[in-house]
């Protein structure tokens, strides 16, 4: 694993993202190869062996009990960790797609597919939690916050070189490294042509496969959504999506 990470840092191709440093994005590509090999391993073993592998990583990764949200605790549930995490997830997804129309279609399609999977897999769920908490609170609120964040970044005047750089704090200088070089909202133009419609459809399918991968891991292997390994996995996929969406957008618009 370390060999793949070091190899990717020096020899993997650069991405279209170069802040804070191209090595960071090359390492993320290397970690994605390791993650893909782990997924292939889980596909080749049975369910019991897969549970043993996950327990070997950390015994607390697998949970045996579930909690349900009742109507009397809506306010506390809205401030709970899973709801905040999912809201931040949709906010970050809006920053990646940079199109509110595409994000609304993605969230509607995702919840339709999730309901279908929950029904076919006989996974119990409450319509109130799914519609109100997951769709309205997490999804719509997260996308709305992401939309206004994109509007702010697009119209915000960026100062890449500070006149008082020497007097700027270390934290401020490090934070500035993660600022994008430029920022503009994406114009996907879904109905521009039949080819463009197929390209966006393929993007949505891949996005749903990635989201459903998390859904199936949680419900099939009973993985805790609060575990640090699961949170690292979600964060890694978010950074990998930044590379993928940026390059895919440039690819379909460069022809």
Cβ-in-10-Å burial (0-12, 13-18, 19+) of 11 comes to: exposed
In the prediction, which pLDDT does 171 show? Answer: 64
Q: Considering the domain boundaries, does residue 21 fall inside one? A: no
Per DSSP, the residues of 202-237 read HHHHHHHHHHHHHHHHHHHS-B-TTSHHHHHHHHHH
- Expressed as residue numbers, the domain containing 190 is 45-66+73-253
Rounded percentage of the chain residues whose pLDDT exceeds 90? 13
User: What's the structural domain count of the chain?
Assistant: 1
Cβ neighbours of 180 (radius 10 Å): 13
Q: Considering the domain boundaries, does residue 60 fall inside one? A: yes
Name the band, by pLDDT with cuts 50, 70 and 90, for residue 150: confident
Name the band, by pLDDT with cuts 50, 70 and 90, for residue 94: very high
pTM assigned to the model: 0.77
Q: Considering the domain boundaries, does residue 210 fall inside one? A: yes
Q: Considering the domain boundaries, does residue 50 fall inside one? A: yes
Tell me the HSE value of 134 on the side-chain side, using a 13 A CA sphere: 16
243/99 Cα distance (integer angstroms) = 17
Which H/E stretch holds residue 31? Answer: helix 22-44
Is 197 strand, coil or helix?
Answer: helix
Q: Considering the domain boundaries, does residue 218 fall inside one? A: yes
Q: Considering the domain boundaries, does residue 113 fall inside one? A: yes
Looking at residues 176-193, what average pLDDT do you find? 78
Looking at residues 173-179, what average pLDDT do you find? 65
Looking at residues 41-60, what average pLDDT do you find? 83
pLDDT digits (tens, 9 = 90+) for 103-116: 988 888 888 888 88
Q: Considering the domain boundaries, does residue 6 fall inside one? A: no
The pLDDT of residue 78 is above 60: no
Q: Considering the domain boundaries, does residue 31 fall inside one? A: no
Q: Residues near 154 by Cβ (< 8 Å), separated by ≥ 6?
A: 183, 184, 185
**Is 8 within 8 Å of 30 (Cβ atoms)?**
yes
In the prediction, which pLDDT does 210 show? Answer: 85
* Residue 163: strand pairing partners: none
Name the band, by pLDDT with cuts 50, 70 and 90, for residue 69: very low
pLDDT digits (tens, 9 = 90+) for 19-39: 778 888 899 999 999 988 888
């Amino acid at each position: 694993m370390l060999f793949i990470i070091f190899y990717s840092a020096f020899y993997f191709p650069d991405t279209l993202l170069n802040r804070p440093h191209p090595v960071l994005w090359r390492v993320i590509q290397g970690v994605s190869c390791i993650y893909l090999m782990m997924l292939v391993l889980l596909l080749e073993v049975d369910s019991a062996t897969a549970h043993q592998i996950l327990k070997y990583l950390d015994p607390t990764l697998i949970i045996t009990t579930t909690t349900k949200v009742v109507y009397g605790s809506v306010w506390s549930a809205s401030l709970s960790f899973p709801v905040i995490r999912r809201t931040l997830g949709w906010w970050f997804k809006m920053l990646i797609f940079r199109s509110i129309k595409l994000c609304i279609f993605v969230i509607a399609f995702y919840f339709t597919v999730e309901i279908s999977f929950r029904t076919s897999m006989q996974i119990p769920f409450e319509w109130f939690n799914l519609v109100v908490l997951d769709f309205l609170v997490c999804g719509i609120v997260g996308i709305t916050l992401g939309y206004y964040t994109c509007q702010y970044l697009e119209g915000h005047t960026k100062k890449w070189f500070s006149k008082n750089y020497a007097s700027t704090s270390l934290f401020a200088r490090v934070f500035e490294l993660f600022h994008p070089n430029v920022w503009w909202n994406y114009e996907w133009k879904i109905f521009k042509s039949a080819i463009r419609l197929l390209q966006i459809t393929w993007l949505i399918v891949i996005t749903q496969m990635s989201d459903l991968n998390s859904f199936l891991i949680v419900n099939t292997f009973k993985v805790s959504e609060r575990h640090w390994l699961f949170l690292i996995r979600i964060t890694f996929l978010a950074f990998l999506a930044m590379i993928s969406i940026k390059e895919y957008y440039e690819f379909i618009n460069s022809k």
